[in-house]
């Protein structure tokens, strides 16, 4: 079997560490792994397949001889090193939002638009975590009738803010238990026992940057250029797995039975939809795995051409690291 030299840019972060774990889990044909991080981490080691792998400093020359670079760093780092990665002849599968809306860069969810991979010019973008989970859940409905519009509310776990998100939640819970105060550092407000209805900065007409991703990225991934999405993103005191309430509107009626049938067969989805027996997707059930659970499928009582549903998925795995590695798997095929 052919093997590949794989670099992880931002290997020490939460997503980078998860990428390393998933490469091993999925038996990706890694001949050589190169963890890349900042100068302060260079020289330290990380475990991969039971062996210590030395972290290297990310620099322009670090990509020579690399086949695939998995990006797990912020926009500025991705933009800084993308030219060197492409020049070195590697393919950059980037988890940041730096290139997602670039018309020359494919934006891929492998269960939805795998054929777009072949259009890459050295860079492929990984979509936003909530977008990945949502389009995986709803894309099959397009086989019944094209989705015209979506109304969505996301309930996003603290781990979506990075490794320090869950730490802050736990510290706040413990401080409150002891009657003490805790000054938030990761979030703009206390997240313990609270909801924060803002993720990202204001971008358009009172919508945040995180909320606009659902429309702008969803259009590109599902090849629905006229798709309109009204989204509200909320940070919730859940450690892992994002949940999304979605209403999909169509030009013609779609029945609940039709929706359940296609979603049950959709790649990457698991139908969990039995209200009578209290069976529905929940963050606790969807964490630390790669399937998007879909349930609470029901008619929209305000629109005869719409269907409501609820979905949950692990945003560190399927919403980030696993999706990137699935893209890499498409490349090596």
Contact indicator for 260, 297 with CB cutoff of 8 Å: yes
Straight-line distance from the first to the last Cα atom of the chain, in angstroms, rounded to the nearest whole number: 12
**How far is CA 297 from each of CA 215, 222, 259, 322, rounded to the nearest angstrom?**
21, 21, 8, 26
Q: What does the CA dihedral 216, 222, 224, 227 come to, rounded to 10 degrees? A: -50
Cα separation, 123 vs 70, in Å, equals: 10
Structure tokens at 103: 């018309």
Q: Is 182 helix (H, G, I), strand (E, B) or coil?
A: coil
Catalytic residue, chosen from 129, 231, 233, 269, is: 129
On whether the CB atoms of residues 11 and 312 are closer than 8 A, the answer is: no
Residues ≥6 apart with Cβ < 8 Å to 62:
7, 34, 36, 56
Q: Are 267 and 140 in contact (CB under 8 A)?
A: no
SS in 3 state form for 216-233? HHHHHHCCCCCCEEEEEE
Q: Among candidates 33, 45, 120, which has minimal Cα distance to 327?
A: 120
Task: Extract the tokens encoding 47.
Answer: 């475990």
Tokens of 71: 């990006």
Catalytic position from the list 233, 242, 269, 308? 242
Q: Is 242 noted as a catalytic residue in this protein? A: yes
Strand partners, 248: 150, 307
CA distance 263 to 272: 10
129 annotated active-site: yes
Q: What is the DSSP letter of 38?
A: -
Give the residue numbers annotated as catalytic, written as ranges.
129, 242
């Amino acid at each position: 079997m052919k093997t590949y030299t794989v670099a992880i840019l931002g290997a020490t972060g939460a997503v980078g560490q998860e990428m390393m774990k998933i490469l091993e889990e999925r038996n990706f044909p890694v001949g050589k792994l190169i963890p890349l991080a900042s100068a302060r981490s260079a020289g330290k080691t990380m475990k991969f397949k039971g062996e210590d792998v030395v972290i290297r400093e990310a620099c322009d020359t670090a990509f020579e001889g690399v086949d695939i670079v998995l990006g797990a760093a912020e926009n500025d780092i991705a933009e800084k090193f993308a030219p060197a990665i492409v020049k070195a002849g590697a393919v950059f599968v980037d988890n940041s939002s730096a290139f997602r809306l670039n018309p020359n860069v494919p934006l891929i969810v492998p269960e939805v638009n795998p054929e777009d991979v072949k259009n890459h010019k050295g860079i492929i973008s990984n979509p936003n975590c909530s977008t990945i989970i949502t389009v995986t859940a709803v894309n099959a409905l397009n086989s019944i009738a094209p989705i015209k519009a979506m109304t969505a509310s996301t309930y996003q776990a603290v781990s979506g803010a990075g490794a320090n998100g869950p730490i802050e939640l736990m510290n706040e819970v413990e401080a409150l238990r002891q009657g003490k105060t805790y000054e938030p550092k990761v979030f703009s407000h206390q997240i313990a026992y609270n909801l924060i209805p803002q993720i990202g900065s204001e971008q358009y007409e009172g919508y945040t940057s995180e909320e606009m991703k659902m429309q702008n990225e969803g259009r590109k991934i599902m090849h629905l250029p006229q798709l309109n999405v009204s989204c509200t993103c909320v940070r919730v005191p859940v450690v892992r797995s994002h949940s999304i309430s979605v209403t999909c509107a169509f030009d013609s009626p779609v029945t609940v039975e039709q929706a359940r049938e296609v979603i049950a067969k959709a790649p990457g989805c698991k139908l969990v939809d039995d209200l009578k027996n209290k069976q529905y997707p929940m963050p606790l059930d969807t964490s630390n795995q790669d399937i998007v659970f879909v349930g609470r499928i029901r008619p929209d009582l305000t629109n005869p051409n719409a269907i409501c549903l609820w979905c949950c998925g692990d945003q560190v795995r399927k919403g980030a690291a696993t999706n990137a590695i699935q893209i890499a798997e498409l490349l090596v095929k």
